[in-house]
Amino acid sequence: MNSIKHYLLPFSILLSSLCFTLIGAYWNQEHYHETQDYSAKNPPLTIAMRGLHDGLLFQGLDSAPLKKEVFLAEVAEISTVSDISSAPEEPEVLEDSTVSTITEEFTEPNTTLADSPIILPETYSFTPVTEDYFQDAVFIGDSRTVGISEYSGIKNATFLCKTSLSIYDYAKPKITYKDKKTSIQEVLQNETFGKIYLMVGINECSYGTPESFYELYREVVEDIRRLQPEALIFIEGNLLVTQSKSDSSQGVTNENISSRNELIATLANQKDTFYIDINQSSLCEDGALVPEFTWDQIHIKAQYYTVWKDFLLEHGIIKNHLDTNIEMAKG
């Protein structure tokens, strides 16, 4: 068996050479009709290579032969181009008319494109909305989102929230949805929402760094986008605490909260992901939660969650005008 393999390559080469020799002899007789002197200097194998170049392999036997003069001219042209030493040392200077023609090709408007409607990627600004805006919304968060669900007056949204919920609990069975213990990730896999409000981070202030929190937060937002590609994602900045609480705490400080908020705000692109800073509402003043609005320096009193709801209603995103433009373009 090894001896057969040893001779297989030489035999294949010999057989291929024989085949091309016969093909070359045939092509010389049928197509080129070369003189005896030319055939003596150019064996059938060489003529076969010439025939392959001329495309005889893909022509019928009765096709018109390629003229010798054309072939030689092509060879001369190829030889000239491939000879680097013959190339001009200086770049060719184009005539003014040539330059003008080339410039016009790139500067003249394409009438076909100019006449067609072009839909460019849009960014959106916040606009006031009414309470039916929350009809297809889901709120994800910790005890502060629990407060929104209980006291804000929002009755038509879905709430996936739990006291002490953190970003680390995203894929864990920490919440109850439709009487079933499940994870936020699982709900997003099985349900479809038009708007997603996400606010976690106050419970993470006592451990890790703003950077480590941000990295995991970013992964969660990317996963939410993967599971809900058509949804608007609203990243809610964490509400600050009172100045007294911030001064007396090791982890839950306004500086720590702000550092995290600044990082997660960078995830907003104003196209399908937006950052809402509740600290710009009347709940905060001078960079801290107003003491009169809170019962424990961290959570606001029940009657003030309507302020939170009103702030959210002032920061809606309406994309209907873009959808209308797309439909008009299709029409």
Domains of the chain by range and CATH?
2-87 (no CATH), 131-318 (3.40.50.1110)
**pLDDT for position 93:** 39
pLDDT at 46: 74
22 — pLDDT class (breaks 50, 70, 90)? confident
Greater pLDDT, 72 or 14: 14
Q: Give the residue, 15 or 326, on which the prediction is more confident.
A: 15
Structure-token pair, residue 260:
């995290």
On the question of pLDDT at 251 being above 90, the answer is yes
Q: Which residues of 137-168 are buried (b: 16+ CB within 10 A; e: fewer)?
A: bbbbbbebbbbbbebbebeebbbbbbeebbbb
Q: What angle do CA 246, 249, 255 make, to 5 degrees?
A: 45
Mean predicted lDDT score pLDDT of the chain: 79
| pLDDT class of 174 with cuts at 50, 70, 90 | very high
Higher-scoring residue by pLDDT: 311, 52? 311
User: Which residues partner with 197 through β-bridges?
Assistant: 139, 234
Average pLDDT over residues 160-184: 97
Answer yes or no: are the C-beta atoms of 127 and 108 closer than 8 Å: no
